[in-house]
Structure formats: C-alpha cells, structure tokens
Structure 1
C-alpha cells in the first residue's frame, strides 16, 4: 500500500466515477437524439456523428444547444407513460375478475333461493352448473 497512497486512490476513484457519469450522459444524449420526433433524419445523423467523432465537445455542445429540449422530452415521455399506466389500471379495474362474475351470480342464486323463487334442487343444479 505504500506504493499507492490514499490521495492517489481518491483521484483514481474520482476519475473513474467522472468517466462513468460521462458515459451515462453520452448514452442519454444518444437516446435523446433518437427520441426527438421533430428533428429530421439528417439532423439526427449529424448530431450522432458529432457526438461519436468528438465525444467530449459533442456532448458539451449538445447539452448547451438542446439541454432544455431534453428536459421537456423527458417530462413529456414520463407523462405519457403515467397516462398509459393510469389508463391500463382503469381498464383493468373496470372489467370484473375471472372469479368475480361467478361470485355475483352465486350471490344472486342464493338471494333467489332465500326469497323462495328457487327450490333446493333447482339451486343445487344451478350452482353445480355455475361452478363447472
């Protein structure tokens, strides 16, 4: 450990984490380039080439030039995902579960039997038909 003092460990860790953060930012920018539906295909190709050939400068220029739009597209995508999830929940909650309709039908049969509209034999026959 004497050959690699604590300050060198700190600097190595710092550079490693900065490199990881830069990679995340690079991937975020590449996905944002493809997510933007308002940008033409040539514009996407140009930004992609710029970000790949001159990565540090390309990422910096992209964040400066289109950073606000990145945030707006992220918010829009999050709202669309939330709306889709809420719509799915509403549709799923509106339809009765597979066993839910059987339970309702069985409750209706018990109510008819209690009122005397069904005899015990008719109730048993309807119940057996419902449960099979």
Structure 2
C-alpha cells in the first residue's frame, strides 16, 4: 500500500464520517422541529433512509434556514438558563442580611454569642 492509497483511503473515511454526521444532524432536527407533524417526520426519516444523499440535499435546501434558526434559539435558551443560574448562585447578600440571619441563629440557640460576634465581624469586614 503506497502513501497515495492511504491518503485516498483517509479521504473516503473522512467523507463517510461527514455524511453520517450530516444525516444524524438532520434526523435530530426533524424530531426537534415542532412545526412538523408525526407524518411529516416519518416521511423525512423514510426519505433519509432510502435516498439519503438526495434527502439530505433537499432538506438542507428547503429547511436549512429553519434548522439554523432552531439551533440559534436553542443556544440562546441555554445561555439564558446558564446566565440565570450564575446570577442566582453569585448573588451576595448584604452585611445586614447576614447579621440578621446570624441573629436568628443566635436567638434559636443554634450558635453561641461568640460565634454570633464572629459572624457579625466577618459580615462587616466584607462590606
């Protein structure tokens, strides 16, 4: 086997993997599309199974814009969810709220007066 045979073989492996990737992406998009009913989804999948290359080209031409829009919406929703979670976790309470919380713990007997003083000093120091 010469180096050229190996390079041709590698090229066809790459093309095969790329085609499989495209087919899987299209099938995922078909099932995530809320505008398609069950029959439409079944027809697209059958079309992809029996005439994969033709179906992929037609799908990308006919529905590629919607595919991109759904992908952008999904990314924006994931980013908004992540940002919301980060804001929720990163919120810092005010020193007054921390002292009030420590006072409730002191009044309930969960902490001693010295622990309360330590928490109060720490809350005021971070302010």
Structure of larger gyration radius: 1
The answer to whether 1:56 aligns with 2:53 is yes
The answer to whether 1:126 aligns with 2:113 is yes
Alignment counterpart, residue 30 of structure 2, candidates 33, 43, 61: 33
Secondary structure of the structure 2 residue equivalent to 1:39 = coil
Question: How far, CA to CA, are the matches of 1:41 and 1:17 in structure 2?
Answer: 33
The answer to whether 1:66 aligns with 2:80 is no
CA drift at 1:71: 0.8
TM-score, length-scaled by structure 2: 0.73
> C-alpha root-mean-square deviation of aligned residues, in Å?
2.8
Moved over 3 A (4+): 128-131
Query: Which 5+ residue runs of structure 2 have no aligned equivalent?
Result: 104-110, 119-127
Deviations 1:73-106 (CA, angstroms, capped at 9, x unpaired): 111110010011111111222365xxx98xx43x
Query: Which 5+ residue runs of structure 1 have no aligned equivalent?
Result: 110-123
